[in-house]
């Protein structure tokens, strides 16, 4: 059976509870301490402002040697997030370092919402529109935010 929860995960969880990241809440699942229910508020000034986005974050067995697995549960119109909610973020892939934490990951995701990067796309159609007609892309993103990320 899996060994007890590593000290590091316990500490990270405690600290996330004690000093939460502004605009982000991350609560461990009652039955699985490695699974977090995350809610990120759409950053101000971004097309996602006003939206509340649900994510799931899972700490694999090898964490912190391998990156947490994070996915958007709420639909979002963003060039770096695909239909399935998968996120294109370097620190979740090859740029992961064990010195990073849940907190830093969530901050990076928040920053990604503020600054979409259509040059490194995951959702090609979204990225294309973002490059060709940014105002239209932002309009759709706002609409999606209203439709999927508000009032639920």
Residue ranges in contact with another protein by CB under 8 A: 1-3, 6-8, 11-12, 61-62, 64-66, 97-99
11 C-beta neighbours (distance < 10 Å), count: 11
Instruction: Output the six-digit token pair for 38.
Output: 């995350």
Task: DSSP letter for 123, please.
Answer: S
Dihedral sign computed on CA atoms, order 129, 131, 135, 138: positive
Q: Which of 57, 87, 88, 89 is catalytic?
A: 88
Q: What is the rounded distance in angstroms from the CA atom of residue 128 to the CA atom of residue 68?
A: 28
Q: Which is nearer to another protein, 65 or 111 (CB)?
A: 65
Q: Which is nearer to another protein, 97 or 133 (CB)?
A: 97
Least distance from another protein to the Cβ atom of residue 64, Å: 7
88 among known catalytic residues: yes
Q: Which is nearer to another protein, 101 or 117 (CB)?
A: 101
Burial of 84 (0-12, 13-18, 19+ CB in 10 A): exposed
Least distance from another protein to the Cβ atom of residue 96, Å: 9
Active site residues: 88
């Amino acid at each position: 059976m899996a060994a007890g929860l590593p000290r590091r995960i316990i500490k990270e969880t405690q600290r996330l509870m004690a000093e939460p990241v502004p605009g982000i809440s991350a609560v461990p699942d009652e039955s699985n301490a490695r699974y977090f229910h995350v809610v990120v508020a759409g950053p101000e000034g971004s097309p996602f402002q006003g939206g509340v986005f649900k994510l799931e974050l899972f700490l694999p067995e090898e964490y912190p040697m391998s990156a947490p697995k994070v996915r958007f549960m709420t639909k979002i119109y963003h060039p770096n997030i695909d239909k399935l909610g998968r996120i294109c973020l370097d620190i979740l892939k090859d740029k992961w370092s064990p010195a990073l934490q849940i907190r830093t990951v969530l901050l990076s995701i928040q920053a990604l919402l503020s600054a979409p990067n259509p040059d490194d796309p995951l959702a090609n159609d979204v990225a294309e529109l973002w490059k060709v007609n940014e105002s239209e892309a932002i309009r759709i993103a706002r609409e999606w935010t209203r439709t999927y990320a508000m009032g639920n």
